[in-house]
Amino acid sequence: MSTESNEPREPREPDTTPADGAAAPETDAPEPGTTGSPAASTAPTASTAGDPPATGAERTDSPLTKARMSKGDKIDRLAQLTARRETSSGDSLWVAAFRRLRSSKMAIIGAVIIGVFVVLAIIGPWIAPYSPTAQSWRGEVFSNRGIFVGPRAENWLGLDNLGRDELSRLLVGARQTLLVGIVATLIGFVVGALIGGVSGAALALGGRVGQRIDAVVMRFIDMMLALPSLLLAVSIAAVMGQSLTTVMIAVGVVQIPIFARLLRGSMLAQANADYVLAARSLGVKRRRIVLAHVLPNSLGPVIVQTTLVLATAIIEAAALSFLGLGNLDAAQPEWGVMLAQSQRFFDQAPMLAVYPALGIIITALGFTLLGEAMREALDPKLRS
Amino acid sequence: MSLLELSDVKVHFPVRKGILFDRVVGHVQAVDGISLSVEAGQTYGLVGESGCGKTTLGRAILRLVDITDGEVVFDGTDLAQLPEEEMRRSRRRLQMVFQDPLGSLNPRQNIESILAEGMDAHGIGDTREERRERILKVLDRVGLPDHALGRYPHEFSGGQRQRIGIARALVLEPDVIICDEPVSALDVSIQAQVINLLEELQEQLGLTYVVIAHDLAVVRHISDVIGVMYLGSLVEEAPSDDLYASPRHPYTKALMSAVPVPDPEVEDTRERILLTGDLPSPSNPPAGCRFHTRCPWRQPTRCDTERPGLTDIGGGHKVACHFVNEIASGELAPTSALAPDMLGDSESPVDDPGGDSAGDSGEGEDAASGPASGAPGSGGKAAGTNA
């Protein structure tokens, strides 16, 4: 063993690493560069560890390694050959995060829920057994006398207070609910990120003037944050009148300050990072520093927030509808409105409230699960 | 004319208070009047404890922090006066290597993109192929394989990341590279590799380095001239060997005496200077000599009123101390801050309370070695450290 100096160690290096290489394959290939002196490492690295598959072939041919290859080494090599993704280029952080996401149970459950929800929202009107608005069984339901029709063969989830098929209404309503969630979140995200991004960029790299801009913008955002979100939403909805658009805007506006603060804070943290200083010392222009370095590295938390906000937006939109500020157009059923309208009959037909409520809860849960999983996947502490 | 010449450079950070309409309530004098010159092809080492302003000085040279006052003359132009855009362009010739190899690389960029960025900013290389060729050449120089191109910083080891950092600086073919603690985040074995690499590159490319470090061994190894910083100013500057053989400033003496000697006998008996107190706040530095609050050789006159300038005592050895000659000749003996009274806490209880300073100044340097040679039996290394 003592005769083994630097020379034989060199090829061995990749052999030993794959033991944990299965878990973190990206760490093993570049390793040889560190071994040996800088002058010596250039040549061996290029030849031995040049390309992962080539390495394997070369190493088997080498008599030195063959003789030394114990059972453990063979197992290691097998693990290496099977486990290694044979790419010559590495993984970006996004790719790595996606891979972590894929192996998270939470993410998968969340994604499945969201997937089902989205599919329903798209094909809902086509698979709905009956028209969601036609009061086809009007003669069977007498809400003033407390006579309701529960689940039965032709109406799986029963009828609502006007004798409409509940299942059809739920299926068609999914689209509206999803639309409210997405549009509201988009409003919050786009406007919030714009404000936060400008503010953060100004503060981080704009000098004294930038600091002033940031201070003014952020005090404004603080004022928005100081108002209770539901109160703010109700006021907006009250000013704009009852409609689905109102609900979307009201819910979206409430999210603006959250997104703005989050992105600004995240950008600020990145602006003080060493690599930004390094970019400045390289002579990179400010605009490029903000766009290519600060912004992409600040987006992680904001993207996570987006999924979480999707959940709350659906719930808040339901709350606004429940308060009577939502869409009153009966032709377009929406879960929040359905929930609101069923409250009058809650003691006689509780299930009419439970179905849309369950739909909202499960969908929100799906988005929350995915958001949490994304937060974990993007967490810098988990970076290998 | 030296390649890089700093004269009376000051970097003061304003301390602000208030929310919308803030006012300046004070200044942190991170760098307070430093003059030095770096010859082409030379390595200038800057040492000093944490918070003494060495990193700030390094950044001030590249104007990554605003220079409050003074000149940074690089190749005949005063960088401190350049407009922003011209400064940006002149950064091609002045590059920097950072302490944290991972933190200084954008985690979302692959190596090719990291190395191409500087060329992009300075319009070097017309086509992607041309740049790639140049990048590959530099990668080869710093000892990284070609297939590193498509990989991301987190996939490399610490030493390799620092090589990437060096390559990023090199690809612009700079004249001066400022190395801010280039190896302090690395393992000792990797440190040697990186330092050797830096030296090789200097030989091959005729680079000029300013190396900032707190590791005295590293600085000694790599530097031609060393400047010792304390609280924002230079206290001593000398050719490397000269400084280590005969440190003149009390602070340098204390710094050098903190380095353990491999020979156990020498280690047991060598004189150690223990500084008491903390580094004073740079927002409110002491009047007179910055070091007088902690100096074992402090004198009642001049030290706390008059700030000593950096004066040449021969052979390029510059010291900022009023009493450098007296201390060197032994005419002045260290006073309170030598170890015996510190040792008194643990070893000899209340032997001479109160009278320490008078007694110690009388005994002089013998007092320092006396307790140290007595100590090893009981206290071993710990006692030796106290002395």
Alpha-carbon gap, residue B54 to A268, rounded angstroms = 25
Residues A122 and A85 in one domain: no
Binary contact (B157, A30; C-beta < 8 A): yes
Check A275 against B144: CB less than 8 A apart: no
What CATH number is attached to the domain comprising B93? 3.40.50.300
Instruction: For A300, name the nearest residue in chain B, comparing CA atoms only.
Output: B108
Which residues in chain B have their CB less than 8 angstroms from residue A278's CB? 96, 98, 104-105, 165, 168
CB nearest A283 (choices: B92, B110, B150): B92
Q: Are residues A372 and A245 in the same domain?
A: yes
Q: Which of B214, B229, B244 is the last residue of a domain?
A: B229
Q: What is the DSSP letter of B127?
A: S
Find which of A67-71, A148-152, B283-287 is predicted with most confidence, using mean pLDDT: B283-287
Q: For residue B143, what is the nearest residue in chain A, using CA coordinates?
A: A42
Domain end position, chosen among B213, B229, B245: B229
Question: How large a percentage of chain B has pLDDT more than 90?
Answer: 32
- pLDDT above 70: percentage of residues in chain B: 85
Name the residue facing B147 among A88, A216, A297 (closest C-beta).
A88
By Cβ distance, the residue of B89, B104, B193 closest to A278 is B104
Categorize the per-residue pLDDT at B350 as very low, low, confident or very high, splitting at 50, 70 and 90. Answer: very low
Of residues A7 and A290, the one with the higher pLDDT is A290
d(C-alpha B78, C-alpha A120), whole Å: 68
Q: Which residues of B touch A94 (CB under 8 A)?
A: 108
A80 with A156, same domain: the answer is: no
Residues constituting chain A: 384
Q: How far is the alpha carbon of A334 from chain B, nearest alpha carbon, in Å?
A: 42
- CA–centroid distance for B336 within its chain: 27
Q: Do B118 and A92 count as a contact with CB atoms less than 8 A apart?
A: no
Same domain? For A76 and A112 the reply is no
* Domain coverage including residue A232: 102-382
Q: Is there a domain that residue B314 lies in?
A: yes
Q: What is the CA radius of gyration of chain A?
A: 29
Residue A327: pLDDT band by 50, 70, 90 thresholds? Answer: low
Residue A36 dihedral angles phi and psi, to the nearest 5°:
75, 170
Q: Residues B187, B74: one domain? A: yes
| Domain match, A78 and A24 both | yes
For residues A55 and A154, state if they share a domain: no
**Tokens encoding A199:** 């503010």
Give mean pLDDT, residues B139-158.
Answer: 88
Q: Which residue in A has a C-alpha nearest to residue B148's C-alpha?
A: A30
Domain final residue pick, A55, A90, A125: A90
Identify whether the C-beta of residue A164 lies closer than 8 Å to the C-beta of residue A133.
yes
Check whether residue A314 and residue A272 sit in a common domain. yes
Give the model's confidence band at A81: pLDDT under 50 very low, under 70 low, under 90 confident, else very high.
low
Within-domain flag for B109: yes
Question: How many domains does chain A divide into?
Answer: 2
Mutate to test the interface with B, among A10, A274, A286, A297 (most CBs of B within 10 A): A274
Query: Are A282 and B140 within 8 A, CB to CB?
Result: no
Burial zone of B127 (CB within 10 Å; 0-12 exposed, 13-18 middle, 19+ buried): exposed
What is the pLDDT at residue A262? Answer: 92
Residue A186 lies in a domain: yes
Inter-chain touch B96–A49, beta carbons under 8 Å: no
In a domain, A1, yes or no: no
Q: What is the pLDDT of residue B228?
A: 93
Q: Are residues A203 and A81 in the same domain?
A: no
Q: For chain B, how long is the longest CA-to-CA vector?
A: 79
Does the distance separating the beta carbons of A46 and B150 come in below 8 Å? no
Q: Which residue of A has its CA nearest to B149?
A: A89
Same domain, B18 and B152: yes
Q: What does the pLDDT read at residue B136?
A: 92
Over range A81-109, report the average pLDDT.
Answer: 70
Residue B292: is its pLDDT beyond 60?
yes
In this predicted structure, the answer to whether residue A60 has a pLDDT above a threshold of 80 is no
Which residues of chain B make contact with A297, given a CB cutoff of 8 A? Answer: 106-108
User: Do A78 and A143 fall within a single domain?
Assistant: no
pLDDT band at A330 (very low <50, low <70, confident <90, very high): low
Tell me the chain A residues in contact with residue B117 when contact means C-beta distances shorter than 8 Å: 279, 282, 284, 292
Q: What is the pLDDT of residue A75?
A: 63
Could you tell me which chain A residue has the CA closest to the CA of B112? Answer: A89
- B147, A297: Cβ pair inside 8 Å? no
Q: Are B272 and B257 in contact (CB under 8 A)?
A: yes
Of A150-154, B47-51, B182-186, which gets the smallest average pLDDT?
A150-154
**Contacting residues of A for B89, CB less than 8 Å apart:** 283
Which of B194, B229, B264 is a domain's end point?
Answer: B229
Q: How far B13 CA sits from the closest chain A CA (Å)?
A: 13
pLDDT at res. A328:
63
Could you tell me which residue, A384 or A165, shows the higher pLDDT?
A: A165
Number of independent structural domains in chain B: 2
Taking an 8 Å cut-off on Cβ atoms, the answer to whether B145 and A45 are in contact is yes
Q: In what order do the strands lie in the sheet with B208-212?
A: B94-97, B176-180, B208-212, B43-47, B225-230, B233-239, B318-319, B311-312
CB contact under 8 A, A274 and B104: yes
Q: Are B227 and B46 in contact (CB under 8 A)?
A: yes
Q: Is the pLDDT of residue A136 over 80?
A: no
Lowest-pLDDT choice from A355-364, B120-129, B270-279: B270-279
Query: B121 and A288: CB-CB below 8 Å?
Result: yes
**Nearest residue of A to residue B178 by CA position?**
A281
| Interchain CB distance below 8 Å, B190 and A215 | no
Kindly state whether residues A18 and A157 are assigned to the same domain: no
Same domain, A86 and A111: no
Domain annotation covers residue B248: no
Residue B387 has pLDDT above 50, yes or no: no
- Residue A44 pLDDT exceeds 70: no
Tell me whether residues A219 and B20 touch, CB distance under 8 A.
yes
Q: Are residues B182 and B275 in the same domain?
A: no
Sign (positive or negative) of CA dihedral A113, A115, A121, A125: negative
Query: Which residue from A152, A162, A107 is spatially nearest to A131, judged by alpha carbons?
Result: A162
B339 vs B371: CA distance, rounded Å = 9
Confidence (pLDDT) at B94: 92
Distance CA A229, CA A151 (A): 38
Same domain for B137 and B71: yes
Q: Is residue A223 part of a domain?
A: yes
Distance from C-alpha of A363 to C-alpha of B197, rounded to nearest angstrom = 57
Q: pLDDT band for A212, please (50, 70, 90 cuts).
A: confident
Chain B: closest CA distance from residue A246 (Å):
35
**C-beta atoms of B106 and A89 within 8 A:** no
- Give the end of a domain, one of A60, A90, A120: A90
CB–CB of A281/B91 below 8 Å? yes
CB nearest to B145's CB, from A38, A50, A277: A50
Residue B181 to chain A, least CA–CA distance (Å): 13
Which has the closest alpha carbon to B231: B52, B58, B54? B52
Position B108 pLDDT exceeds 90: no
d(CA B94, CA B118): 12
- Do B193 and A284 count as a contact with CB atoms less than 8 A apart? no
What average pLDDT does the segment B144-150 reach?
A: 88
Q: Is the Cβ pair A93, B149 closer than 8 Å?
A: no
For residues B44 and B179, membership in a common domain is answered with yes
pLDDT for the residue numbered B204 = 92
Which of A90, A124, A142 is the last residue before a domain boundary?
A90
Tell me which residue in B122, B146, B196 faces A38 most closely, judged by beta carbons: B196
Task: Mark whether B206 and B83 lie in a shared domain.
Answer: yes
Residue numbers of the domain that contains B331: 253-386
By C-alpha distance, the chain B residue nearest A274 is B104
Q: Whole-number mean pLDDT of chain A? A: 75
Nearest residue, CB atoms, A90 vs list B19, B110, B168: B110
Alpha helices in chain B (DSSP H): 54-61, 84-90, 111-122, 128-141, 158-170, 188-205, 216-222, 240-245, 250-257, 264-269, 324-329, 340-346, 356-363, 365-374, 380-386
CB contact under 8 A, A275 and B172: no
8 Å CB contact between B143 and B163: yes
A132/A36 same-domain check: no
Answer yes or no: is B40 within a domain: yes
Which residues sit opposite B209 in a β-bridge?
A: B43, B177
With contacts defined as CB-CB under 8 Å, which chain B residues touch A99? none
Rounded distance, CA A384 to CA A96, Å?
9
Nearest-by-CA chain B residue for A275: B104
Regarding whether B152 and B287 lie in a shared domain, the answer is no
* A284 closest CB neighbour out of B117, B146, B154: B117
Please report the sign of the dihedral spanned by the C-alpha atoms of residue A362, residue A363, residue A364, residue A368. Answer: positive
The pair phi, psi for residue A269, each rounded to 5°, is: -60, -40
Q: Do A90 and B151 touch (CB under 8 A)?
A: yes
Same domain, B99 and B174: yes
Comparing A140-149, A361-370, B378-387, which segment has the lowest mean pLDDT? B378-387
List strands edge to edge, sheet with B77-78.
B23-38, B4-17, B69-74, B77-78
CA distance B249 to chain A (A): 34
Q: Do A30 and B145 touch (CB under 8 A)?
A: yes
* B138 band by pLDDT with thresholds 50, 70 and 90: very high
Rounded mean pLDDT, B225-239: 92
Indicate whether B200 belongs to any domain.
yes
Whether the predicted pLDDT of A46 surpasses 60 = no
Q: What is the mean pLDDT of residues A99-105?
A: 83
B365-374 and B356-363 are packed helices; what angle lies between their axes, rounded to 10 degrees? 100
* Pairwise CB contact (< 8 Å): A34 & B160: yes
Q: Which of A240-249, A316-325, B110-119 has the largest mean confidence?
A: B110-119
- As a whole number of angstroms, the distance between CA B96 and CA B62 comes to 8
Q: Determine the number of helices (DSSP H) and then strands (DSSP E) in chain A.
A: 17, 0
Q: CATH number, domain at A255?
A: 1.10.3720.10
C-beta atoms surrounding A74 within 10 Å: 11
How large is the average pLDDT for residues B55-69? 91
Which residue has 């700093």 as its token pair?
A: B6
**pLDDT at position A338:** 83
The listed range with the strongest mean pLDDT (A178-182, A341-345, A372-376, B226-230) is B226-230
Share of chain A above pLDDT 90, in %: 12
Count CB atoms within 10 A of the CB of residue A216. Answer: 13
